[in-house]
Structure 1
């Protein structure tokens, strides 16, 4: 119990002063579609007025929402009332991207991406429906994703760095800092319906990218913001007890260490996937609020959805995200603690630096204890309610290698399994399960290619890393040369088929694919020739 008391004391010293400012400062000024429109919102979504559930939450009301609701109540029983006509009368549809951009097939894929950056860049604008206005320019992923997204942006920044767009990186970092200062955390994206959850905490890694461009000293400018971000993830740590071991995103482990999980404060259907969530809750045969909480927590993970969150490893109706201690999340928070340690040293506060160093060491020890399965020689997520690893292999296992947390023998075993089971003709596959979910086989995603390649390189597995990079660049290039597009995700197992799964069609644009592709070509200059060659495959 000494360990428990000591860790909790550190959180009281370092986190509590910042956790007092977590409530959104601008909440009363914002438009919340589901809350403000009530039954109107529910009916529009349940009747599928728009094919994509995200469309209506992104619509802009043309007058006070209260007046629109009043008009709806007065008109809905009248003969000939048509819900879609009413919506089109009272709301402006989401702004569509400029369709004047056309792919020039004579351009290489890298030239195409350079032309795409301005198309994906949004300027600060006026208040617009559920969109939270940001003070600086930012890059959106593309397609239906018309706003900035948290973890996407780190991988996009890798490409912006390669393109020399340092000021745009600065702008995006400053936007996220603005969100921390005004809402208490970085939400999933800059929409009001995303405010109740975050995404994988990559803010500290974004600061590292900016520091590479502008010097290490710039980290000091963001020290206060990173402390607030950390306080958001650690909120309630000082309240944990053996009788009540979990609160929001923190969990007290049996040995007294504290690890994190994903969470969402609002157990309601997601506005942007309202019908899908309601239908799942009916099918699952569980309490609807329980399903909604688990679904939203998985959405915070960025892996929405994957069998890594399912109790039976197969069916989404068994989703149990809040019971799981994700290995990737805790590796990210380990890095955040080390970054806070470095910031304290830069500020000349050696005492605080030692405190963050101790927290990082305690987290590393806990991850190696709870997330490592010695029998399988692999990192897994950990179910704190059953006190076992989930034993569902996924690329989340590479995160301890990416952040140099793993012991060398562990890294070797992980690398061997990646080579044997995950490396596919087009890169690395996300999990080994064919479930129909988009964060499972046969799909590959740009962020996980990058994390895996760098993780392997960190421990000297350079051949495997180069194999993945080559296959991914080849696949991206072939699809671009055939379709003129860069996609959100790819089928890395059968190169003749597109990626599938998910609640919406595969999107093109695409922010993090562009970013990782450019960064890999800069890391492996010999891959440039792939982008200039004729396509190898027919899709």
Structure 2
């Protein structure tokens, strides 16, 4: 299906001027505004007026665009109740963060069912955020809400052939970590294996998106095409990518500045690597940087990530289960074989025997990267690790990653938000569940308790649930990255509720 155009393509020069002149502090603000009139007439008027020495671009934008969040949600500002516990606060927040949007408006794409947005600047159904939001809804027995989000995700797969980062036109060139399989498995825990059978067609469609081009690999440089890479032993693994090579519309000014500062780097390659990091959800992290302290050295698309390939293994295994329950032995065998091959390739290329940890792999240089990150626990989460590898990972988590507030994202502090000292709810969950899967329950409990205590401590002081936390100390509030700390916050809420239920904390 032909992709809808994003605001950068529709608005042309006006768009570039608004973003580069920083009319809004956050570049996402403008891409989320809705035009009040036809785009053509707005552009024509801009062309006529912009040369006037008294022209005011900010006034022009406010006259021609409106903030959809204020017009669609029709909700009063969220009221903080000082007497609320964190759980009561979250329960009220779900209603505030719930959206229904059945008509395309500006860059916002219609979805058939209600959904929960992360909060703050994120006013749409984000892909991997949604899974962790669903965990919290499930913990409270809100299965209708869980199923609505899953149905919306399946709808986007039917419509586009994959799950976009979120339901925005400017996100249609990329996806995010493929958690659709885990969404299906979550609902299947409640409704039975029929859920896997029901969503098998969409799961297969998403799988084809990630594996697209595997027959073209031998014709390409480095044997890589889109999101698939062929290694020297013919193994197939995946990477993050993006179908466009321009500056991200929502971060246009920042990307252009990075490109200018990078000097001789080819701009479209740099933009691809920035976009690919955005597809990873880890935007930005030392994982993707040749120099861990320098964003200009980003090379995401050269890297085979541990987390993505662990999720792809789960996808292949679950597709095999789905076919098995439909009594399709040939397809069952095919996907079991694909999962087994991937498991072997993960062990061959992503396990570093010297470092005793799972590390991303730079297939251009044919060696592991040097950045230790919580992506290294995904093979435990997916059940790929052997007992010996799991034991080594557990030792590393306890020795290096465990901090007073939970587990830290990487061991590098460089000002990027997916690095130290930040901890993120989804990575706490993955780490805890990965350790539990291999029997490291005591360490899992320590991480869970420390994370909940940190969430509670920040909530007691601020009455906020925030996007990321400083797990090393201080105020506990996370920082770094391209925008200010957001509160709301979808996945923090979801993981908090799911962990409290798991630990039986009232």
Using the TM superposition, give the Cα deviation of residue 133 of structure 1 relative to its aligned residue in structure 2, in angstroms.
0.5
Task: Indicate the SS of the match to 2:69.
Answer: coil
The Cα offsets for residues 411-442 of structure 1, whole Å up to 9 and x where unpaired, read as 00010000000000000000000000000000
Using the TM superposition, give the Cα deviation of residue 183 of structure 1 relative to its aligned residue in structure 2, in angstroms.
1.1
Structure 2 residue aligned with 1:479: 458
Query: TM-score, normalized by length of structure 2?
Result: 0.97
Task: Indicate the SS of the match to 2:347.
Answer: helix
Using the TM superposition, give the Cα deviation of residue 223 of structure 1 relative to its aligned residue in structure 2, in angstroms.
1.1
Runs of 4+, deviation exceeding 6 Å = none
Q: Describe the shift of the 1:478–1:349 C-alpha distance in structure 2 as closer, same or farther (beyond 3 A).
A: same
Structure 2 residue aligned with 1:260: 238
Q: Is this contact kept in 1: 2:458–2:476, CA < 8 A?
A: no
Q: 2:29 aligns with which of 55, 66, 82?
A: 55
Structure 2 residue aligned with 1:465: 444
Q: Is 1:279 aligned to residue 257 of structure 2?
A: yes
The Cα offsets for residues 106-159 of structure 1, whole Å up to 9 and x where unpaired, read as 221112111111111101332210001100000000011000100000000000
Using the TM superposition, give the Cα deviation of residue 169 of structure 1 relative to its aligned residue in structure 2, in angstroms.
1.0
In structure 1, stretches of 5+ residues that fail to align are: 1-23, 529-539
Q: Is this contact kept in 1: 2:103–2:109, CA < 8 A?
A: no
Q: 2:411 aligns with which of 432, 441, 446?
A: 432
Using the TM superposition, give the Cα deviation of residue 313 of structure 1 relative to its aligned residue in structure 2, in angstroms.
2.0
Using the TM superposition, give the Cα deviation of residue 105 of structure 1 relative to its aligned residue in structure 2, in angstroms.
2.2
Q: How does 1:99-178 map to 2 (within 5 A)?
A: 99-178=76-155
Q: Is this contact kept in 1: 2:361–2:367, CA < 8 A?
A: yes
Q: Is this contact kept in 1: 2:101–2:112, CA < 8 A?
A: yes
Instruction: Tell me, in whole angstroms, the C-alpha distance in 1 between the residues paired with 2:57 and 2:84.
Output: 46
Q: Is 1:198 aligned to residue 166 of structure 2?
A: no
Q: Is this contact kept in 2: 1:425–1:495, CA < 8 A?
A: no
Instruction: Tell me, in whole angstroms, the C-alpha distance in 2 between the residues paired with 1:497 and 1:454.
Output: 23
Instruction: Tell me, in whole angstroms, the C-alpha distance in 2 between the residues paired with 1:107 and 1:497.
Output: 20
Structure 1 residue aligned with 2:60: 86
Instruction: Tell me, in whole angstroms, the C-alpha distance in 2 between the residues paired with 1:454 and 1:425.
Output: 19
Structure 2 residue aligned with 1:45: 19
Using the TM superposition, give the Cα deviation of residue 77 of structure 1 relative to its aligned residue in structure 2, in angstroms.
1.0
The Cα offsets for residues 488-508 of structure 1, whole Å up to 9 and x where unpaired, read as 000000143521101111100
Q: 2:370 aligns with which of 391, 399, 407?
A: 391
Instruction: Tell me, in whole angstroms, the C-alpha distance in 1 between the residues paired with 2:202 and 2:277.
Output: 25
Task: Indicate the SS of the match to 1:251.
Answer: strand
Task: Indicate the SS of the match to 2:229.
Answer: strand
Using the TM superposition, give the Cα deviation of residue 387 of structure 1 relative to its aligned residue in structure 2, in angstroms.
0.4
Task: Indicate the SS of the match to 1:54.
Answer: helix
Instruction: Tell me, in whole angstroms, the C-alpha distance in 2 between the residues paired with 1:523 and 1:497.
Output: 23
Q: Is 1:323 aligned to residue 296 of structure 2?
A: no
Structure 2 residue aligned with 1:451: 430
Q: 1:295 aligns with which of 253, 261, 274?
A: 274
For the aligned residue pairs, the C-alpha RMSD in angstroms reads: 1.1
Q: Is this contact kept in 2: 1:55–1:94, CA < 8 A?
A: no
Q: Describe the shift of the 1:215–1:497 C-alpha distance in structure 2 as closer, same or farther (beyond 3 A).
A: closer
Using the TM superposition, give the Cα deviation of residue 243 of structure 1 relative to its aligned residue in structure 2, in angstroms.
5.6
Structure 2 residue aligned with 1:34: 8
Using the TM superposition, give the Cα deviation of residue 409 of structure 1 relative to its aligned residue in structure 2, in angstroms.
0.5
Instruction: Tell me, in whole angstroms, the C-alpha distance in 2 between the residues paired with 1:83 and 1:124.
Output: 30
The Cα offsets for residues 284-333 of structure 1, whole Å up to 9 and x where unpaired, read as 11121111100000000000000010012221110010000001000000
Q: Is 1:332 aligned to residue 311 of structure 2?
A: yes
In structure 2, stretches of 5+ residues that fail to align are: none
Moved more, 35-44 or 105-114: 105-114
Q: 1:524 aligns with which of 476, 481, 503?
A: 503
